[in-house]
Amino acid sequence: MTENKRPIYYDDVEKCVDDIIKIVGKNIIFGMPLALGKPIPLINALYNRVKSDTSLHLAVITALSLEKPTWSNELERRFLQPFVERVWKDIPDFQYILDIRKNNLPSNFVLKEFYFKAGQYIHVPEAQQNYVSSNYTHAIRDSLANNINVCSNIIAKKEINGEVFYSMSCNADTSVDASNGIKKMQAEGKKCLAIGEVNNNLPFMYGDVAVTKPDAYDMVIENPIYDFPLFSVPRPVVSVADHMIGINVSSLIKDGGTLQIGIGALGDAIASGLKMRHETNTEYRAFLNDAGILNNYGDIINRVGGLEPFKEGLYGSTEMFVDAFLQLYKMGILKRKIYHHEGLQRLINEGFIKNEINPSVINVLLEKQVVNSRLTVTDFNFLKKFGIFKEEVEYIGDTLVYKDITLKNDLDDKSNRDEILKHCLGTNLKNGILLTGAFFIGPNDFYQSLRDMSEEEIKQFEMTSVLISNQLYGDEKLRSLQRKDGRFINTGMIATLFGNVASDMLEDGTVVSGVGGQYNFVSMAHALPDGRSIIMIKSTRTKNNNVLSNILYNYGHVTIPRQLRDIVITEYGIADLRAKSNKEVIIAMINIADSRFQEELVKKAIENKKLPKDYKIPDRFRNNYPEKLEKLVSPYRKEGFFKVFPSGTDLTPDEIAIGKSLRMLKEKIAAKDLMIIPDLIMNVFKSIPKHAERHLERMQLDRPSTPSEMILQKIVVYALSSAGQI
């Protein structure tokens, strides 16, 4: 393939597969981004070709292969199947995932992933064995070390001023650097390919490295039949424990600062807490007072966070652009803009320059030596790019030209400067960024919101390489200024009394998810002078019907080591661990543990001489029980706070009721609640309540035609009744 023929266009993935094999050979090492950005039609065609031809070998290097929910019994099928068909309609499955679930992978295929959906492959030996542990910022480095010879991702297409451009859209994270790596290998004479697959359902996202010309790819696949819908991740249930973690986190976010959060219930809980703080501040402060948060953690809140509504607002600096950020934007919380210019950003941080342009701006820029008194082309381009000069102003031969007015470029000449200020100044700063992200995924209405944005609006949400979003290296001064008062919030599974955190793997070596960007953001929080890392941990988990503590004395795996300890939050409170001694750290961690396990933790610490023999837990931290939280939240729920789905849901009200009822029934069965049997027997002889009819219709059990359907009908009615839904 010659350089001047880039790219070759295809409307058939099978023909593209033919040429991939011709060019790179029979040993194909295929790299594609995590989550949403995978070219499903292409990888399915390639995988099926390899299955049918044993002379070929395919290795796929990626992360987070998405799959639709599945069911394990008839009741689950009746509940899930209509929901799956509605939310994931027309989205193709990954053929290799279907074969993994059937334990039917061909011997000439291997899948290597550096991140799993949490719990996705706990019981899949091949996935456990082929997992590659990498920081997100090392993903491409490690993929190239595995000798990828094809990289591919889905792309958005747009014509700008008569020229076609592609956007890496949902996955600028690693796609940018993979493409650059392929180009470098091609220059070295290696046979390799960069392939884009156009999907017109993708929103066209902007960013300095996310938008490319067609020649960034060797091959481009484009056909309307490949415009599959984007994979939806519906909003999850947000529990009381989630909300309590979120409300604690919300008090540590400083107005005018920077925020990083992830997907899931805890991210939604943080957004909900921030909304309460911003929109209903009186109730927010009252709740923090009722919960004892102000009394117990007022000092760190005053030092690190705040309680006031957001006047300056927040900037999002995150690897993952999640729906919670979009909700914060709509609430008017995500509104602090940053600018890609060190001098300008510094002056904004110091309060010398505001969004509105006035004549003093030029004086400040001169005084702080951001521009020269005799404006250069570079100075002019800077002033125009950021809206300090009007768009119509031109720089011609060392003069400024505005309409029919020509002015010297000399700011030392007072009369000339006055004329420049009169005719050339803009009204507001331009090209500000509200959020910098590397990839996105979310529910269907999240994608639609992005598609509905104007070009001006969507440019505020820039997509970029993970090497930019997840670290300071490369432009430390500017990024440090932009990411001021950064609060980098991540989730862990288990924390020890010493401040170690396990987030990706169990101590027996079972990989649950992956490191992802967690280490990157923890490290960045410590590198920034005003940054803080916040790790969220649910205090307990349930295994085999037993409640276990997630706060342990010690644990046999560490993702974030204790020397990088900072802030840990559970539903019971905040542990400020940075710069603290062993004793101080242990006490802080015990204070936020579930009280059913606190005495055991104290005993262990005393046995190992980490606490004084006479140490006693303060009374105010000895009531850490779920029942306390339920009682605390209950009156506020009646006022509309702490909703199960604070940002809405794809589920209908009936589906919410059915889902809750079946989940509670499942918990009773797991707990071996013997009262279920006589209750079910009694339910068999009762008539069907009228209020249950629509729920039964949803479960296709309103007209049972077989004995098994009749039994299922009675089970559903019992579940609804015992859960208080009918």
What is the mean pLDDT of the segment spanning 335-346? Answer: 98
What percentage of the chain carries pLDDT values higher than 70?
Answer: 99
What is the mean pLDDT of the segment spanning 367-372? Answer: 97
145 token code pair: 């070390």
pLDDT tens-digit map of 456-491: 999 999 999 999 999 999 999 999 999 999 999 999
Burial of 129 (C-beta count, 10 Å sphere; 0-12/13-18/19+):
exposed
What percentage of the chain carries pLDDT values higher than 90?
Answer: 93
Check whether 702 has a pLDDT greater than 60. yes
- What secondary structure does DSSP assign to 634-650, as a single string? HHHHHTT-S-SSTT--S
462 Cβ contact list (under 8 Å, min separation 6): 205, 206, 207, 208, 210, 433, 435, 436, 437
- The three-state secondary structure class of 235 is coil
Check whether 530 has a pLDDT greater than 50. yes
Contact 451, 205 (CB under 8 A): no
What is the mean pLDDT of the segment spanning 365-381? Answer: 97
Looking at residue 681, its pLDDT comes to 73
Phi, psi of 453 (to 5 degrees): -70, 145
Looking at residue 676, its pLDDT comes to 75
What is the mean pLDDT of the segment spanning 126-131? Answer: 97
Long-range interactions of 617-624: CB distance < 8 A, separation 24+: 617/590, 617/591, 618/591, 620/292, 620/295, 620/296, 621/296, 621/572, 621/573, 621/590, 621/591, 621/592, 622/595, 622/598, 623/595, 624/539, 624/572, 624/573, 624/592, 624/593, 624/594, 624/595, 624/598
- The three-state secondary structure class of 295 is helix
Looking at residue 2, its pLDDT comes to 38
What is the mean pLDDT of the segment spanning 581-591? Answer: 99
pLDDT tens-digit map of 435-452: 999 999 999 999 999 999
State the Cα–Cα distance between residues 572 and 578, nearest whole angstrom.
19
602 token code pair: 């104290």
Closest CA to 541 of 600, 603, 492, 591: 492
Write out the H or E segment, with its range, that includes residue 278.
Answer: helix 265-279
Q: Where are the domains of the chain?
A: 3-226, 240-312+476-621, 342-423, 653-722
Check whether 130 has a pLDDT greater than 50. yes
State the Cα–Cα distance between residues 153 and 42, nearest whole angstrom.
10
Same fold, 3-226 and 240-312+476-621: yes
- Residue matched to tokens 């070390």: 145
Q: Which residues pair with 461 in a beta bridge?
A: 435
659 token code pair: 């889902």
Check whether 671 has a pLDDT greater than 90. no
In sequence order, what E strands does 168-279 have?
193-198, 211-212, 219-221, 258-260
Looking at residue 187, its pLDDT comes to 96
Check whether 718 has a pLDDT greater than 70. yes
Q: For the packed helices 240-250 and 293-304, what is the interaxial angle rounded to 10 degrees?
A: 40
What superfamily in CATH does domain 3-226 come from?
Answer: Glutaconate Coenzyme A-transferase (3.40.1080.10)
Looking at residue 674, its pLDDT comes to 64
State the Cα–Cα distance between residues 306 and 333, nearest whole angstrom.
14
Which CATH architecture does the domain made up of 240-312+476-621 adopt?
3-Layer(aba) Sandwich (3.40)
State the Cα–Cα distance between residues 577 and 562, nearest whole angstrom.
9
pLDDT tens-digit map of 258-303: 999 999 999 999 999 999 999 999 999 999 999 999 999 999 999 9
Closest CA to 249 of 305, 296, 298: 305
pLDDT tens-digit map of 165-217: 999 999 999 999 999 999 999 999 999 999 999 999 999 999 988 899 999 99
Instruction: Report the mean per-residue pLDDT for the chain.
Output: 96
As a whole number of Å, the end-to-end CA separation of the chain is 67
User: What length does the chain have?
Assistant: 726
Cα 287–Cα 289–Cα 293 angle in degrees, nearest 5: 95
Contact 389, 424 (CB under 8 A): yes
What is the mean pLDDT of the segment spanning 353-380? Answer: 96
Amino acid at 203: P
457 token code pair: 């609006």
State the Cα–Cα distance between residues 190 and 266, nearest whole angstrom.
45
Phi, psi of 159 (to 5 degrees): -100, 125
- Residue matched to tokens 């049972």: 704
Looking at residue 1, its pLDDT comes to 38
